[in-house]
Homo-oligomer: A and B are copies of this chain.
Amino acid sequence: MRYLVIYDITDDNLRTAVAETLKDYGLQRIQYSAFIGHLTRVKLNSLTVDLKRLIKDLVENVQLYPICDTCFKGRREVGKQKRYELKEKDKIAYF
């Protein structure tokens, strides 16, 4: 199933850790605080566990929405997608 993951995290280090975790699960960044991609049930459960370990009892928030094919086809977009510059190891990657 495709999942849209959105987060609202104030702490810079935690936000980076969450973004890196989402990338580790193969999700693609579509906005600064939003990723999308396919997750099996096993990976979704594992990701949820990993996120809980990161967020603990902090007032920080991550939401995961399944997006079925019908919903995905109905999406709309206004404006342009940005390019997110992230330092990865010694190079700068744009994606």
Contact = CB atoms under 8 A, between A and B. Distances in A.
- Of A4, A60, A63, chain B has the most CB atoms within 10 Å of the CB of A63
A78 B61 contact: yes
A31 B80 CA distance: 21
Nearest to A50: B78
- For the complex, would chain A's binding face be called helix, strand, loop or mixed by DSSP majority? mixed
Contacts of A72: 65
A80 B64 contact: no
- Of A34, A61, A75, A79, chain B has the most CB atoms within 10 Å of the CB of A79
A87 interface: no
Nearest to A75: B65
B64 A77 contact: yes
Interface in A64-84: 64-68, 70-72, 74-82
Interface of A: 1, 4, 6-8, 30-34, 44, 48, 51-52, 55, 57-68, 70-72, 74-82
